[in-house]
Structure formats: structure tokens, C-alpha cells
């Protein structure tokens, strides 16, 4: 299904019925990231899975794909889908979008689940790496960047046990146009620090960390849990030792059980 938000036409898929649950994928893939576990959730919930702008079937619009734009897109999705209040799960940039959504419209958020989405902004070194990647994408296209991401984002266990997943991920990544890849890297580099935001979260929260995630240390996600609790919020923590940054897609049954139990408790 298509809808318009600002300067872009966006796509989302929907499964199931019941209490609304929105799943936000990481970059540079699309809503199909969630399909391996969506069946576990759609028997209980109305599952909405958008393609974030610039990904899958969604247009990128003009300029950097910022967290502010992504948050506005998801708020618009709630309006279009007739959802007053929903539960949310986000992986990586999907989780960064949830911080922004909480800043924009906390009254529309019933629960939050984060996977590989640390609250801190990029370090100077990380920003420099993103700028170097943007330059490479603009100069040589997306192929080299995608191959590097396949190693960075998918855990060693998955690459060894289920090598077909690498090909599946590559296929999703190759649907993103080079200019959109550059635009989302710009937005990620500019994303705000969300530690103070996390202190204000007052809805049930679930944080999932992966032992083979080379980009987001487990300590950063423990910090998220501690920060939410320090502000008086509720947060549970789960660690999956043999998964990488794409943990919900790498181990859908394990993550699906965690999310189903968490959201069932909220419902």
C-alpha cells in the first residue's frame, strides 16, 4: 500500500489483525527484513511494516534522509492507517526513528522495542567513516559499500550456518539507489544524541543486543536499559550471543518469541 509523506511517496505492507504493531527495518534493506518473523506476530497483532524512505518501494525525497523526516513519515503512516496508538519495534535506524517518534508524539506510543539501536549519536570517527562511504558511493556506486555491509551487519554465525541469507540480504540492499544510500548515511551521521530522550521513556520497553554486532557494543544497549530505568521507566534486556546487527532477521524464531512475549504482556 502507498501513502504520501512530505515530498515522498512511501510503501507499507500489512498483515494480521488486532492491536497495531509497527516494525521498522534497518538500512540498507526494506520491510522484507521482518517477514521471517512477521507470521509469529500477525496471529496476534495488526502488523504494519513500512519501507523507510529511500528503501524498497519508498521514494527518498530530496536531501538527507534525517531522523526527523523518518519520524514524520511514521507519524503520517499512523494517520493513514487509522491508528491512534501503537506498539513499535525498530532495528538499527528503525530504532533511531523510534527515538524521534517518541520526541514527536509520545502519546501515540504504547510500547517500544529496540534492536541494535544505541541511544548515543555517532562519534567523530564514525561520522568520518560515513563521510568516506558517501564519497565512495558517489564516486564508484553502491556495490563496494553493499559488500562491506554484508560482512559488517550480518553475524559470523549466520554467514557460516546460513550462507543463503547473505544472498537474500544482498538482493534487498541492491534495490536501494546509490543516491538514497548516501542520503541515509548523511542522516545517520547527523542524528541527535538520544540519551536524554531515553530518560523520558515511560512506556514498557524491550532492548535486544547481539553478541556478534560489531557496530553496536552490548554495553551501549545496557546503557539504554539503565537510562530508561533511571528515569523511572520499565525496560527489559535480552542478549543473543550468536547473532549480528541484523539479529531479528538472522534469528527470527528467537527474536520473534522475545517480541511476542513482550508485546503480549503490553497488550
Q: What is the pLDDT of residues 18-43, one digit of tens each?
A: 999 999 999 999 999 999 999 999 99
| CA–CA distance, 240 with 261 (Å, rounded to integer) | 16
Enter the pTM of the model. 0.97
Cell of 44: 496476534
Residue 102 confidence (pLDDT): 98
Closest CA to 237 of 228, 249, 246, 250: 228
Mark 56-72 as b/e (b = at least 16 C-beta within 10 Å): bbbbbbeebbbbbbbbb
* pLDDT value at residue 214: 87
> According to the model, what pLDDT value does residue 76 have?
98
Instruction: State the Cα–Cα distance between residues 14 and 181, nearest whole angstrom.
Output: 25
Q: Which DSSP symbol is given to 84?
A: S
Q: Given this model, what pLDDT does residue 64 score?
A: 98
Instruction: Report the CATH architecture of 2-266.
Output: 3-Layer(aba) Sandwich (3.40)
Residue 266 CA to residue 263 CA, distance in Å, equals 5
Question: Which grid coordinates are listed for 261?
Answer: 512475549
**Within 10 A of 140 (CB to CB), how many other CB atoms are there?**
11
Say if residue 124 is exposed, middle or buried (CB neighbours under 10 Å; 0-12, 13-18, 19+).
Answer: exposed
- Angle, helices 35-42 vs 252-266, to 10°: value is 30
Question: Checking DSSP bridges between strand 235-240 and strand 109-115, what pairing results, if any?
Answer: unpaired
Per domain, the residue ranges of the chain are 2-266
| Largest CA-CA distance found in the chain, in angstroms, rounded | 49
On the 0-12 / 13-18 / 19+ scale of CB atoms within 10 A, 93 is: buried
What are the residue ranges in the chain where pLDDT is below 50? none
Pairwise CA distance, residues 212 & 201, whole Å: 27
* Among 138, 80, 83, 91, residue whose Cα is nearest residue 114: 91
Amino acid at each position: 500500500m502507498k501513502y504520501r509523506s512530505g515530498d515522498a511517496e512511501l510503501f507499507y505492507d500489512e498483515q494480521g489483525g488486532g492491536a497495531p504493531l509497527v516494525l521498522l527495518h534497518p538500512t540498507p534493506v526494506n520491510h522484507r527484513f521482518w517477514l521471517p518473523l512477521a507470521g509469529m506476530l500477525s496471529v496476534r497483532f495488526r502488523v504494519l511494516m513500512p519501507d523507510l524512505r529511500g528503501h524498497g518501494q519508498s521514494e527518498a525525497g530530496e536531501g538527507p534522509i534525517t531522523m526527523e523526516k523518518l519520524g514524520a513519515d511514521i507519524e503520517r503512516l499512523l494517520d493513514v492507517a487509522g491508528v491512534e496508538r501503537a506498539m513499535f519495534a525498530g532495528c538499527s535506524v528503525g530504532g533511531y526513528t523510534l527515538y524521534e517518534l517518541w520526541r514527536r508524539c509520545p502519546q501515540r506510543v504504547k510500547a517500544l522495542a529496540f534492536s541494535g539501536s544505541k541511544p548515543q549519536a555517532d562519534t567523530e570517527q564514525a561520522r568520518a567513516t560515513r563521510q568516506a562511504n558517501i564519497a565512495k558511493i558517489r564516486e564508484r556506486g553502491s556495490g563496494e559499500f553493499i559488500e562491506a555491509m554484508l560482512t559488517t551487519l550480518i553475524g559470523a554465525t549466520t554467514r557460516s550456518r546460513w550462507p543463503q541469507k547473505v544472498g537474500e540480504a544482498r538482493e534487498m540492499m541492491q534495490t536501494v539507489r546509490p543516491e538514497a544510500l548516501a542520503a541515509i548515511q548523511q542522516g545517520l551521521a547527523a542524528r541527535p544524541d538520544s540519551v536524554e530522550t531515553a530518560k523520558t521513556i515511560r512506556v514498557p520497553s524491550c532492548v535486544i543486543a547481539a553478541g556478534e554486532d560489531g557496530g553496536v557494543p552490548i554495553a551501549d544497549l545496557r546503557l539504554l536499559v539503565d537510562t530508561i530505568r533511571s528515569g523511572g521507566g520499565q525496560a527489559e534486556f535480552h542478549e543473543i550471543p550468536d547473532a549480528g546487527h541484523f539479529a531479528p532477521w538472522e534469528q527470527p524464531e528467537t527474536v520473534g518469541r522475545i517480541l511476542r512475549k513482550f508485546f503480549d504482556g503490553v497488550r
